[in-house]
Amino acid sequence: MSVEQTPGPRKNEPRAHGAQSSRRLLARVRAIMADPTGAQESLDRIVGIIAAEMVAEVCSLYVRRAGDMLELFATQGLKSEAVHNTHLRVGEGLVGDIAAHARPLALSDAQSHANFAYRPETGEEIYHSLMGVPAIRGGRVIGVLVVQNRTQRHYEEEEIETMETVAMVLAEMVAGGELVDRSELAPIDGLGIKPLRLEGLRLNGGIGMGTAVIHQPAYRVEHVVADDIAAEHEKLETAYSEMHGALEDMMAAGAFAEGGEHRDIMEAYRMIASDAGWLERLHEAIDSGLTAEAAVERVQNDLRARMSQVSDPYLRERMHDIEDLGNRLMSHLHGDGANGNGKVLPDHVVLIARNLGPAQLFDYDPERIRALVLEEGSPTSHAAIVARALDIPVVAQVKGVLERIEDGDPVIVDGDSARVFVRPGEDVQQSFKDALKARTAQARAYDAIKDLPADSLDGVHIELSVNAGLLVDLRRMHETGAKGVGLFRTEVPFMIRPEFPEVKEQEKIYREALDEAAGKPIVFRTLDVGGDKVLPYWTKEDEENPAMGWRSIRISLDRPAMLRQQLRALVRAAAGRELWVMFPMIADVSEFTAARALLDKELARHEKMGGEPPSHVLAGSMLEVPALAFQLPALLRHSDFLSVGSNDLMQFLFASDRGNSRLAGRYDTLSPPVLSFLTGVVEACNAAGKPLSLCGEMAGYPVDAMTLIGIGFRNLSLVPSSIGPVKSMVRSLNVGDLKQYLDTVVNLDDRSLREKLRGFAQDHGVVI
Ligand code: PEP
Ligand code: MG
């Protein structure tokens, strides 16, 4: 909390006085709410009783309206004609400052403060001291509650806390439409409701148009004011011990029982949950008159306010953990784990959130979501992974987006250029409508060829598979007419879960995937974590070079129990069916044979226990580490197939970090060294008679895919949304002509052949 007066000495005893006062106040607020009068009258009475309880001459409530405008909605003490006529922008004046920083302000001499903004219509010049608190709901400031006194008064910490509690209750009521008619929260004509253009970071391309829906925390606090304080304390204790029990069970189960880093992080998590300070804060909040669920919300609000001031990434992570625990506790309070997100959604939703947890996107009907805009979020965030799988455009790291977009605002999200257009003008809307139409027409054209084979004009057949990680990808595999899944990133289900899935749960995931694939092959890649792929429940090692560090198969071979559990789950799930397993980041043959030996052990164990074996087992290796390319004849004696992971391979071939934006575009996949390297790989696989595919991002770009086909690739695995464009390319290509052309350019000293290959495509009518 940040207050600009010298705080009084901190008391060790419970804040009995503050708690009593806020309880009394809340009881009176509730009595007013129980009396059915109009919203304005209730508000007027509420500010009146707050003024009386706080012994202040003035109490005013400002409510935030669209366009970052705070409007005086009710006052006791200021001139009544100022109500609905006094406006302050967020950041303007002391009230605006409180809203902008989401923190209380207590000043014994307000008028001497640099931010004081005088509004003559209010008649406030006679009041010297001011104390204001933000009214926060779900981490968002939706208003400001202020008291003022004539004298130069010093406000006690307990008084500020009482105001915060009441403000939170008012925030719930305003948001629930009980105190303020929702129409009054609409934009104010002519007052700064201008179109806005915000920029962020592209996490997924595409265009989405719709109505803004602000993601609220999953739980709506139904009852804010406690009827029976003792009962609320008891409810909290019960939920708290249930939550502990669930955490204990989780720790005792599966992978956690074996120790290791993920256990350490869970221990840390559990320690926070056991932190007496956290529990004490919760009980204190109940003492102030709140229900147990409102107390959790209240403590979460404080935490978020503190979090915004912490820059240390480790501490922020821990605070996120507490926030997450708060959500867990809330779910235990609700008793069923069901979310209370019962909003009526518009048909086309642009979802606006600070960040989304693993499953929160699924709280909404994915069919309605047109785009996602995040205030935070990173390329590896859960929301990004899920949104990509659902093909929803995502722009992240849009500073202040929650402050600047209101529920109901029309929004256009251009994922390709990472821009968000809020309340766009007619012309902007029209140009995006046109772009969307063109895309829809394109999608229809792709749909029309989905059941046709990916055969070139001269009869070369190309197998196109999809890269997947979630069940929704499998649906898209069917929709696009792909042959199967060429890369199933098994770490994705691990990343979106709050805890390490045990064998049974893994088995279920893989079985569902195989069922969904309905006989089409799925190449399951074993856990590929470390580097940029972080499991939420796993400590991230501080490594000098994480991409070249302890990651992927290296972790799996050092933690064989974990790999064996995964292989066990795969073998069980594939009973009676074909099982394809692929090991990532293999650097030498011995790593592959060691991994394969574990697979064989699991197969033997499964049969010994009387389980039905898979009908056929194929184990393959990824080629991501250049050294492996020089051992291919030896590797292919053991490996049933090979798949090039070009994302990692490129970063190691060029010694160029794939995540460093300064290096993006510096080296080209379509360059003589890459093409001659890959040609060698094609030749080695052909000589050994083993299938070869490529599953990195480049397979999804038509010019790159065309070139790969030209040097001999016949299997490509790509993101589902690229199947249509790549198939169109294949069906307009003459592979023989391309081969001839490539022979003439592959030995040139150009640093990139991209423009030349584009030129070839244009000259030969290849659709790229
Ligand atoms: C790759 O490296 O090309 C690959 C497919 O693996 P990932 O992108 O999951 O690292
Ligand atoms: Mg890789």
Average pLDDT over residues 477-483: 94
Residues with CB under 6 A from ligand 1: 487, 489, 528, 624, 645-648, 695-696
Percent of the chain with pLDDT over 70: 85
> Using 50, 70 and 90 to split pLDDT, how confident is the model at 381?
low
Q: Report which protein residue has its CA nearest ligand 1's atom 6.
A: 645
Expressed in angstroms and rounded, the spacing between residue 705 Cα and the centre of ligand 1 is 16
Looking at 44-53, 233-242, 254-263, which range is the least confident one? 254-263
Greatest mean pLDDT range, 395-409, 529-543, 666-680: 666-680
Q: Which helix (H) or strand (E) holds 428?
A: helix 426-448
Alpha-carbon torsion (16, 19, 25, 28), positive or negative? negative
Give the mean pLDDT of the chain: 86
The span from the CA of 482 to the CA of 469, in Å, is 15
Domains of the chain: 35-185 (3.30.450.40), 196-427 (3.50.30.10), 444-763 (3.20.20.60)
- Report whether pLDDT(154) > 50: yes
pLDDT value of position 8? 37
Expressed in angstroms and rounded, the spacing between residue 647 Cα and the centre of ligand 1 is 5
Residue in 87, 382, 606, 685 annotated catalytic: 382
Average pLDDT over residues 122-135: 93
- Residue 531 CA: nearest ligand 1 atom is 10
- Residue 491 CA: nearest ligand 1 atom is 9
Q: Report which protein residue has its CA nearest ligand 1's atom 3.
A: 645
Instruction: Choose among 301, 317, 221, 310: nearest CA to 265.
Output: 317
The span from the CA of 555 to the CA of 564, in Å, is 12
The single-letter code of the amino acid at 168 is M
pLDDT value of position 3? 43
- Report whether pLDDT(37) > 60: yes
Looking at 323-337, 473-487, 580-594, 679-693, which range is the least confident one? 323-337
Expressed in angstroms and rounded, the spacing between residue 286 Cα and the centre of ligand 2 is 50
pLDDT value of position 7? 36
pLDDT value of position 75? 96
The three state secondary structure string of 1-61 is: CCCCCCCCCCCCCCCHHHHHHHHHHHHHHHHHHHCCCCHHHHHHHHHHHHHHHCCCCEEEE
Pocket test for ligand 1, best of 467, 523, 695, 717 (most atoms within 8 A of CB): 695
Instruction: Choose among 597, 602, 533: nearest CA to 564.
Output: 602
Expressed in angstroms and rounded, the spacing between residue 327 Cα and the centre of ligand 1 is 33
Q: Report which protein residue has its CA nearest ligand 1's atom 8.
A: 647
Q: For residue 693, which ligand has an atom nearest its CA? A: 1
pLDDT value of position 9? 34
Q: Report which protein residue has its CA nearest ligand 1's atom 1.
A: 645
Phi-psi region of 655 (alpha: psi -120 to 50; beta: other; left: phi over 0): left
What residues have CB less than 8 Å from 182, skipping those under 6 apart?
A: none
pLDDT value of position 19? 78
Strand partners, 260: none
Q: What is the pLDDT of residues 423-463, one digit of tens each?
A: 998 888 898 999 889 888 888 999 999 999 999 999 999 99
283 catalytic? Reply is: no
SS3 483: coil
- Report whether pLDDT(644) > 90: yes
CA 358 to chain centre: 7
What tokens were used for 672? Answer: 């003589």
- Report whether pLDDT(330) > 90: no
Q: What is the pLDDT of residues 669-721, one digit of tens each?
A: 999 999 999 999 999 999 999 999 999 989 999 999 999 999 999 999 998 88
The three state secondary structure string of 92-118 is: CHHHHHHHHHCCCEEECCHHHCCCCCC
- Residue 584 CA: nearest ligand 1 atom is 6
Q: For residue 533, which ligand has an atom nearest its CA? A: 1
pLDDT value of position 383? 67
User: Residue written as tokens 């909605």?
Assistant: 73
Pocket test for ligand 1, best of 388, 485, 648, 698 (most atoms within 8 A of CB): 648
pLDDT value of position 492? 81
Looking at 149-153, 273-277, 471-475, 739-743, which range is the least confident one? 273-277
pLDDT value of position 624? 97
Looking at 356-360, 461-465, 493-497, 533-537, which range is the least confident one? 356-360
The span from the CA of 64 to the CA of 522, in Å, is 51
Looking at 175-184, 441-450, 631-640, which range is the least confident one? 175-184
pLDDT value of position 308? 66
pLDDT value of position 145? 97
> Phi and psi dihedrals of 693, rounded to 5?
-140, 175
Q: For residue 585, which ligand has an atom nearest its CA? A: 2
- Report whether pLDDT(659) > 80: no
- Report whether pLDDT(6) > 60: no
Looking at 193-202, 321-330, 534-543, which range is the least confident one? 534-543
- Report whether pLDDT(117) > 90: no
Percent of the chain with pLDDT over 90: 55
382 catalytic? Reply is: yes
Asked if residues 671 and 751 have their Cβ atoms less than 8 Å apart, the reply is yes
pLDDT value of position 382? 60
Q: What's the number of CA atoms in the CB half-sphere (13 Å) around residue 434? A: 5
